[in-house]
Amino acid sequence: MTLLDGPPHVIAAGAGLLADALAEQAAAVTGVTWRPPLAGTAGDLARVLADPRRQAANDLAVRRLTSARPHLTGVRRASEVLRQAEPTFLHAGPPITWERASGPMRGALVGAMLFEGYAHDEEEAVARLAGGEVRLEPCHQHAAVGPMAGVVSPSMWLYEVRDLEHGGTAYCSLNEGLGKVLRYGAYGAEVLDRLRWMDTVLGPVLSAAIELAGPIDLRNMIAQALQMGDELHNRNRAATSLMLRELAPAIADAAPGSASEVLRFIAGNDHFFLNAGMAAAKVSTDAARDIPGSSMVVAMARNGTDFGVQVSGLGGRWFTGPAGVPDGLYLGAYGPEDANPDIGDSTITETSGLGGFAMAAAPAIVRFVGGEVADAVAATRSMYEITLAEHPAYQIPGLGFRGTPTGIDVTLVARTGLLPVVNTGIAGKVAGTGQVGAGLVSPPVEAFTAALRALAENAADPSDP
């Protein structure tokens, strides 16, 4: 219909008086619940929105993100993947120094020192780390992601996930299970023993099994898991079961001697899939990187001190703010005073339209993150306000198979004041404690306003000679 053919259905943003006048004429009106943008962003917003590249760039970015076809193609030792001349550990989140690192990050780094034999005891490990003897670099800088502390050392094994659509590759460490684990900053003997077993048994067995089974379609597996009640960040039970089903015969074929202990390990950890899912999310968001003019977020990550975001049109730059303390439920006698600020690369799931963004798919865990089913539905629905698209494959049955909200747009965050909903585990703030709970966390607003400022500075503004 052309505009002048009949009474228009009007979208009214602004004065309620004008929307009321339309309703009084029995005209169809959709009211916009408009609010002013985040304080101090009006000028930057106008510049970014005026950037003639933005719309096409964002269309391309979100198309690449949602069309990625992540496949699990292998499991490799980090030393083989990251050929570093000098001793290097990867870590979660934006860059961090030992001095600024939080308790769980320090604990995990100490654990990695002991595991690699770079130090004989905790004291020596701390001294060497403080002396800068090991390079610390973000996982994201190496096409990798790691949950919680996200520490990757050369003797750890990594999932290798390839995007068969665009050709990218991403990595993520193997999941150690729950309780006292390195990624939550624990480094006791049981932690180190498990890491050694993972290096000598789990890694090689999985590697051989995947070689036998052939690439595993993670896009398909994630899509199925969403329909089985996972949101792929705090609930991975369905996805883990699906993966176990896929891998079990190959594990039995590849390593009959250790198959039962490997299978029992996988079956005992509901989050076993998380790391593969994170690598899938990483390879998908990486496909959307470096598109000039795009205001879409391609990474959100925390190192336990800072929360950082990266934006497609702004290359590898990090925009950070202080990491918040999650709000959620605590294990045993732990409480909020024991919690470390938010940590981990697992927010890559939200960046790709899963996790908190898919909360409506996972009614089973809404109590765990402190709420009712209606809250979960509301959380997912609100995320459509700050995202560019609905994922064509990742759908939520409870919302009429609507695609998950995907592709966070920095300008929409600034305009609506809505921050991404992030589901997360909570690490103890004292090094060595491990996990103390799980819940929801709000990213710091400054990370997004700083990214917006940089987009504004980079904007090609045709009306500004």
Partner 1 sequence: MTVGTHARRVRTHVTGAASTAVRPVLEASRRPARVLAAFPAGIYLEVRTELEPSVIAVVTGLATRLPNSVLLAGALPRVTMGDEAFVGDGTVEVGGLILRARRWWDPSPPLGAVDPAALPPSSALARRGRPGLDGNDAVELLATSCASEWLLGAVTAAEKLVGLGPGLTPSGDDVLAGLLVTLRHLGAATGCQKAVDLAGWLGAAVTFDARTRTTPISATLLHCAARGEACPEVLAVLRGLAGRRPLEAALRRLRGLGHTSGADLAQGIAIGLETVRALGGRK
Partner 2 sequence: MSDAVFVRKGVYHDSVTLMRVSRALSELPGTEVAVVAMATELNLGLARDLGFELPAADPGDLLVALRGPDTATAAQELDRHLAALSAAGPGQETEQPPLTTRSAARRGGDLALVSVPGEHAFAEAMDAIESGLPVMIFSDGMPAERERLLKERADERGVLVMGPDCGTAVVGGVGLGFANVLRPGPVGLVAASGTGAQQVSCLLDQAGVGVSHVLGVGGRDLSAEVGGLSTVRALRMLDEDPATELIVLVSKPPDPEVAGRVRKVVESLRTPVVEALLGSGADLTAAAEDALRALGRPVPDWLSWDGSRPDGVRGPLVGIYSGGTLCSEAALIAGTGEFTDYGDDAYTRGRAHPMIDPTLRLEALRETPPGAVVLLDVVLGHAADPDPAAALAPAIAARHATVVVALIGTEADPQDLRRQAETLRDAGAAVFTSNARAARHAASIHRGNQS
Binding site for partner 1 (CB under 8 A): 1-2, 5-7, 23-28
Give dist(CA 276, CA 208) in Å, integer.
Answer: 16
Identify which of residues 1 and 189 has a Cβ nearer to partner 1 in the complex: 1
In the complex, the smallest distance separating the C-beta of residue 386 from partner 2, rounded to whole angstroms, is: 9
252 binds, among partner 2, partner 1, none (CB under 5 to 8 A by kind): none
Contact between 400 and partner 2 by CB under 8 A: the answer reads no
If you count them, how many residues does the chain have?
Answer: 465
Please count the other Cβ atoms lying within 10 Å of the Cβ belonging to residue 418. Answer: 15
Q: Which helix (H) or strand (E) holds 21?
A: helix 16-24
Contact between 377 and partner 2 by CB under 8 A: the answer reads yes
Give dist(CA 172, CA 175) in Å, integer.
Answer: 9
Identified binder of partner 2 from the candidate list 143, 297, 309, 412, rule CB under 8 A:
412
Could you identify the residue written with the tokens 């684990």? 181
Which residues 6+ apart lie within 8 Å of 400 measured at CB?
Answer: none
Residue of 257, 259, 237 lying closest to 248 (CA atoms): 259
Give dist(CA 32, CA 162) in Å, integer.
Answer: 41
Distances (CA, A) of 227 to 31, 34, 223, 396, 403: 33, 33, 7, 6, 11
Structure tokens at 37: 């943008």
Give dist(CA 448, CA 311) in Å, integer.
Answer: 10
Identify which of residues 42 and 267 has a Cβ nearer to partner 2 in the complex: 42
Can you name the residues that pair with 88 across neighbouring β-strands?
A: 135
In the complex, the smallest distance separating the C-beta of residue 23 from partner 1, rounded to whole angstroms, is: 6
Range list of β-strands (E), 79-178: 88-91, 135-138, 144-145, 157-163, 169-173
In the complex, the smallest distance separating the C-beta of residue 269 from partner 2, rounded to whole angstroms, is: 35
Give dist(CA 438, CA 426) in Å, integer.
Answer: 5
Using CB under 8 A as the criterion, what x/- string covers residues 446-465 for binding partner 2? ----------------xxx-
Identify which of residues 12 and 450 has a Cβ nearer to partner 1 in the complex: 12
Identified binder of partner 2 from the candidate list 89, 273, 384, 394, rule CB under 8 A:
384
Identified binder of partner 2 from the candidate list 44, 49, 263, 345, rule CB under 8 A:
49
Give dist(CA 418, CA 20) in Å, integer.
Answer: 26
Structure tokens at 64: 């690449």
Identified binder of partner 2 from the candidate list 418, 430, 446, 458, rule CB under 8 A:
418
Instruction: Tell me which residues in 345-374 interact with partner 2 (CB under 8 A).
Output: 374
249 binds, among partner 2, partner 1, none (CB under 5 to 8 A by kind): none
Instruction: Tell me which residues in 3-42 interact with partner 2 (CB under 8 A).
Output: 3-22, 24-25, 27, 30-39, 42
Give dist(CA 106, CA 110) in Å, integer.
Answer: 6
Identify which of residues 6 and 257 has a Cβ nearer to partner 1 in the complex: 6
Contact present, 72 and 164 (Cβ < 8 Å): no
Q: Which stretch binds partner 2 (CB under 8 A): 201-209, 309-317, 377-385, 448-456?
A: 377-385
Identify which of residues 49 and 164 has a Cβ nearer to partner 2 in the complex: 49
In the complex, the smallest distance separating the C-beta of residue 398 from partner 2, rounded to whole angstroms, is: 11
In the complex, the smallest distance separating the C-beta of residue 55 from partner 2, rounded to whole angstroms, is: 5
Contact between 267 and partner 2 by CB under 8 A: the answer reads no
Phi, psi of 411 (to 5 degrees): -65, -35
33 binds, among partner 2, partner 1, none (CB under 5 to 8 A by kind): partner 2
Give dist(CA 144, CA 111) in Å, integer.
Answer: 20
Identify which of residues 24 and 337 has a Cβ nearer to partner 2 in the complex: 24
Identify which of residues 5 and 464 has a Cβ nearer to partner 1 in the complex: 5
8 binds, among partner 2, partner 1, none (CB under 5 to 8 A by kind): partner 2
Q: Which helix (H) or strand (E) holds 197?
A: helix 189-197
Identify which of residues 29 and 445 has a Cβ nearer to partner 1 in the complex: 29
Q: Cα angle at 34 between 29 and 36, to 5 degrees?
A: 160
Q: End-to-end alpha-carbon separation of the chain, Å?
A: 38
In the complex, the smallest distance separating the C-beta of residue 332 from partner 2, rounded to whole angstroms, is: 34
Contact residues toward partner 2 (CB under 8 A) are 1-22, 24-25, 27, 30-39, 42, 45-46, 49-50, 55, 374, 377-378, 381-382, 384-385, 411-412, 415-418, 462-464
